[in-house]
Amino acid sequence: MARSGQPISEAAPLSGRLPTFLGNPGPSAFHRLNPLTKLVLATVTAVAAVVLGGIVGPAVLLLIAVAIPAAGAGVLGRLLRTSLLLSLPIAISALLVNLFFFPGGRDVLFQIGPITATREGLVFALEILARILAISGGITLFYLTTSPQALVTDLERRGVSPRLAFVASASVQTVPAMVERASTIVAAQRARGLDTEGGVVRRLRGLVPIVAPVIMGSIAEVEERSMALEARGFTRPGRRTLLWAPADTPVQRLARWLLIFCLAGLIVARSAGVLGPLP
Amino acid sequence: MLRLESVSYRYAGAERASLRDIDLRLEYGEVLGVVGASEAGKTTLCLVASGLAPRAIRGTLTGRLLIDGIDVAGQRMHELTALVGVCFQDPATQLSGVNATVFEEVAFGPMNLGLPVEEVVERTTDSLAALRIGHLSERDPARLSGGQMQLVAIGGLLAMRPAHLVLDEPTAQLDPAGTSLVADALARLASGGSSILIAEQKTDLLARICDRVVALDHGGLRLSGQSRAVLADPSLQALGVEEPSIVRLRRLASEAGEDPARLEEEAP
C-alpha cells in the first residue's frame, strides 16, 4: 500500500524506516486530496448554495461539488443515507410550515380542512430543501472522506497550536467513547430496576440516573487523561515532531484560492445586483 | 536513583495527609513493589514519585523527591519525562485518544518532545519490540483488548526512555488474560534491568518480579524489605493485603503437617 502522506521536510529528514501504513488517507483520489482542500470545497459549496438561492443553483452545486465527487470516492450510498438523516427533520418541518403557512401564497394546490397548501409555499420549501441538501451534502462528503487525525495533523503543520488541534480531535473522537459509556450505564441501571421504556415522561425520568454518571465519569476520566498527557510531555512548549502530513500540491493551493475568489465574486455580484436571482 | 525523603502529601481540601513521612529509594535496575489496602496511599505515592503531585494535582508536598541526588522540585513536568515515567490503572485513559494506529500512539510522547523523526521512529520501534507488540503497530488503539491497551500505554511510556518507571496498579482493570500479558511484559522489563516502582494488589505478580517490597497503611510505611520476606510476613494480611499463592501454599502445607520445602522441590 502506497503512503500518500508526505514527509515534513522542514522539521526533519524522513526516516527510511517510517512505516508505510502511516497517514493512509483512503482508497480514492478524492480521499487523497489535502483535508484543507476538501474543507474549503465543503464550505464554499455551503455558502454558495445560500448565496445563489433558488433551486437550480444549489441543485447544480449538489451535483458537481457533492454527488460526482462522492460517486468517484465510492461513498455515494453512505453520503445519501447520512445527509438525508441529517437534513430530514429540518426539511420536513420547512416543507410543512411553508407549504401550508406561506405568507402571501395565492395559488392554491389543495386544501385539508381549514389549511391551504399553496404553490408559492411549495416552491419556497423546495428552495430551502435544495440549500439544506447542498450544505449537509458538502459537510457529509468532507466527513466521510477525511480522518480527524489527517485534518488535525495538517492544521498543526500549518502552525495551529498542538493543544487546539488536540482538543478539536479529541472532542470528535470522545463521542463514541461517551456513547459506549452511556450504554454500559443504561445496562447497569436497568439491571438494578430502572425503567427506561414506556411513555415520554417515564423515559425522561429514567434519564436522570444515567446522565449524572455519564458526565461525572467523563470528568473523572478527563483528570486522569490530562495527567497521562502531562507525563508524556504534552505540555512542553515549542513545536512537536510530526511523522507525516497529508500531501498538498501547488495545484490544490491554486484550486483553494480559486474557489475562495469565485465565492467572493459571487457574493459581490449578488450584492451589487449584477447577478439576478436564479429559478 | 529515585528517592523520597521524609515525604508527606495532603490533597487540596483534604483534612488529613494521604502520605505521611515516607522514606523510600529505588535503585537503578531494581524493582520495588508497593502493597497496601485501598486508600493506603499507593496511588498518591506513585503520583509523588512521578512528579505529577503537586504539579498536575493540587496539594501540599513536604519532604523531597530526589533523582540522582538532585531535588527536582523546581522542574516542570515535561522536564521530568526523561527521569521518570508513570502509568495508571485504566488503560483507556492512558492513551491520547487521537491517534489512528498503535505506532503513532507509542510515538506520541517522543513527538511531543520535538525529537528528530529518526529518533522518534527508533524509540517507537524499540518500545514495541521490548513489549513484543510490534504486530499491533497498524491497529487502532481504541479497538484493542484491555491488556493490549495497557501494553501500548506502557510502550508509550518506554518510548520516553525514562530512567525510572512508576506503575500504579497496571493490571487492576484487566481480566486474567490481560493481566498475564502485562505481567509477562513487566517480568521481561524487570529482568532486562529496568528500574521500576510498582504499586499492585496482585501479590503473585510482585512475588514474581520484585526485588524489594514495601507495605503502606493509612499513608505510612509499615513494612519494608526483601520481596520474599515482606510478602511472607504474617502481618501483611492484617494490612488488607492478600498473601501470594506460594506463601499461602507454604502456610497450608505447614498447617497440614507437611514440609513446605517440598513445594519448592516439586514445583515445575
CA angle A52/A58/A62 to nearest 5° reads: 145
Alpha-carbon distance B187 to B201, whole Å?
16
ipTM of the complex: 0.82
Please, which residues have CB within 8 angstroms of residue B67's CB and are 6 or more apart in sequence? B1, B2, B3, B80, B83, B84, B163, B164
Give chain A's end-to-end CA distance (angstroms, integer).
Answer: 47
In chain A, domain spans: 26-146+248-272, 161-231
Chain B 151-190, residues with CB within 8 Å of chain A CB atoms = 153, 156-157, 160
What one-letter code names the amino acid at A162? P
Position A214 scores a pLDDT of: 78
Residue A2 has pLDDT above 70, yes or no: no
Chain B 110-149, residues with CB within 8 Å of chain A CB atoms = 110-118, 120-122, 125, 137-138, 142
Which member of B78, B117, B160 has the closest CB to residue A243? B117
Alpha-carbon distance B166 to B37, whole Å?
18
Give, to the nearest 10 degrees, the angle between helix A35-52 and helix A250-272: 10
Least CA distance to B80: which residue of chain A?
A231
pLDDT tens-place values along chain B, 268 residues long: 999 999 999 999 999 999 999 999 999 989 999 999 999 999 999 999 999 989 888 999 999 999 988 999 989 988 898 899 999 988 888 898 888 899 999 999 999 999 999 999 999 999 999 888 999 999 999 889 989 999 999 999 999 999 999 999 998 888 888 888 888 888 888 888 889 999 999 999 999 899 999 999 999 999 999 999 999 999 999 999 999 998 888 888 888 888 877 766 655 4
Give Cα B39 to chain centroid, integer Å: 17
What one-letter code names the amino acid at B244? P
Mean pLDDT of chain B: 91
Whole-prediction pTM: 0.79
Position A16 scores a pLDDT of: 55
Chain B 67-106, residues with CB within 8 Å of chain A CB atoms = 76-78, 81, 85-86, 88, 90, 92-101, 103-104
Q: Where are the alpha helices (DSSP H) in chain A?
A: 35-52, 56-61, 68-73, 76-101, 119-145, 148-157, 162-191, 200-231, 250-272
Query: Is the Cβ–Cβ distance between A70 and A141 less than 8 Å?
Result: yes
Query: Is the Cβ–Cβ distance between B137 and B128 less than 8 Å?
Result: yes
Please, which residues have CB within 8 angstroms of residue A30's CB and are 6 or more apart in sequence? A38, A69, A72, A73, A145
A45-88: pLDDT as tens digits: 999 999 998 899 999 999 999 999 999 999 999 999 998 888 88
Position B265 scores a pLDDT of: 63
Q: Give the minimum alpha-carbon distance from B65 to chain A in angstroms, rounded to a whole number.
A: 16
Please, which residues have CB within 8 angstroms of residue B259's CB and are 6 or more apart in sequence? B253
Residue A6 has pLDDT above 70, yes or no: no
Query: Is the Cβ–Cβ distance between A41 and A143 less than 8 Å?
Result: no
Using the beta-carbon criterion (under 8 Å), do A18 and B156 form an inter-chain contact? no
Query: Is the Cβ–Cβ distance between A151 and A32 less than 8 Å?
Result: no
A183-222: pLDDT as tens digits: 888 888 778 777 766 677 777 777 777 778 777 777 777 8
Mean pLDDT of chain A: 84
Q: How many CA atoms lie within 13 A of B172 on its CB side?
A: 18
| % pLDDT > 90, chain A | 37
Strands B220-226 and B212-217: antiparallel
Report chain B residues whose CB lies below 8 A from the CB of A19.
103, 137-138
Give the cell for residue A71. 460517486
C-alpha separations of A154 from A39, A93, A143, B33, B243 in Å = 12, 38, 15, 44, 53
Among residues B34, B28, B19, B24, which one has the least CA distance to residue B3?
B24
Position A112 scores a pLDDT of: 86
Least CA distance to A13: which residue of chain B?
B117
Residue A29 has pLDDT above 50, yes or no: yes
